[in-house]
């Protein structure tokens, strides 16, 4: 692993209310009891919960993030939208950009690039999602897809200091299927090489894996030296499953 921290990033999607803070607090208590310090635990929650969670876990070793943002820095006539400045103001420290669910809803590489730049400008750390569909995998165009997403999504950026790249094969999300060890090594190595080549640095490259991560497969996944951490969907909504993922990762 190139990064000294192992990231555990929860993507709650459309889940949670104010009482769900107890899930986060339970995980915070576990981390303190287990004396697990060399990690970064981040909960990307619905925008309605960012302020409440941020205020109630100030003394915790857990950070709060958002799940998406608008690409504009300034206010504007965009009903229902929130920009990076607004998210930062209510307590977000991270933001997910480029998730396949948002790409499916119309986020192009150009829009994603604008979102990344706006997020960095407003001092948010970006969790930049990339990944191929099943159709693209079957056509054996995975590397081409990943290369285009990296090239266009990170266009104009000079540093990876505020970027965590999340490799999430679209065909794995929510299906319970994860790539084989060979597939994962091939894709992650390719992503890492492209980032190192583009930004001329090894130390700032942080690549996490996402897609059906659960307590049963985390031991296998965590043995992969190309992975700096995990982006966790449904399993992160359960305190037991999330704690078991962290626990099994270190066993």
User: Which residues are known to be catalytic?
Assistant: 99, 168
Nearest Cα to Cα of residue 23 among 232, 251, 250, 248: 232
Two structure tokens written together for 246: 């962290």
Phi, psi of 102 (to 5 degrees): -80, -35
Q: Which residues partner with 230 through β-bridges?
A: 8, 209
DSSP state of 166: E
Q: Which residues partner with 126 through β-bridges?
A: 95, 163
The count of other CB atoms within 10 Å of the CB of residue 10 is: 25
Q: Do the beta carbons of residue 56 and residue 36 sit within 8 Å?
A: no
DSSP assignment string, 107-145: --HHHHHHHHHHHHHTTPEEEEEE---HHHHHTT-HHHH
**Distance of alpha carbon 124 from alpha carbon 97, whole angstroms:** 11
Place of tokens 């490259």: 205
Phi, psi of 133 (to 5 degrees): -85, 170
- H/E stretch holding 102 reads helix 100-104
SS3 string, 26-57, reads HHHHHHHHHCCCCEEEEEECCHHHHHHHHHHC
């Amino acid at each position: 692993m190139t990064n000294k921290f192992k990231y555990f990033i929860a993507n709650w999607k459309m889940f949670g209310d104010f009482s769900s803070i107890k899930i986060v607090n339970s995980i915070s208590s576990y981390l303190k009891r287990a004396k697990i310090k060399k990690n970064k635990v981040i909960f990307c929650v619905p925008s309605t919960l960012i302020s409440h969670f941020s205020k109630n876990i100030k003394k915790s070793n857990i950070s709060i993030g958002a799940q998406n943002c608008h690409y504009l820095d300034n206010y504007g006539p965009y009903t229902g939208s929130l920009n990076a400045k607004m998210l930062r103001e209510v307590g977000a420290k991270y933001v997910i950009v480029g998730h396949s669910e948002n790409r499916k809803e119309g986020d192009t590489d150009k829009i994603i690039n604008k979102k990344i730049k706006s997020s960095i400008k407003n001092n948010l750390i970006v969790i930049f999602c990339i990944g191929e569909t099943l159709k693209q995998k079957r056509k054996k165009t995975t590397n081409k897809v990943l290369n285009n997403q990296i090239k266009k999504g990170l266009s104009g950026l000079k540093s990876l200091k505020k970027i965590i790249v999340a490799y999430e094969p679209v065909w794995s999300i929510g299906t319970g299927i994860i790539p084989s060890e060979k597939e994962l090594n091939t894709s992650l190595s390719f992503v890492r090489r492209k980032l190192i080549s583009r930004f001329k640095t090894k130390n700032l490259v942080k690549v996490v894996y996402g897609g059906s991560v659960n307590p049963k497969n985390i031991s296998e996944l965590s043995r992969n030296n190309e992975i700096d951490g995990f982006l966790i969907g449904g399993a992160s909504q359960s305190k037991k499953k999330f704690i078991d993922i962290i626990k099994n990762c270190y066993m």
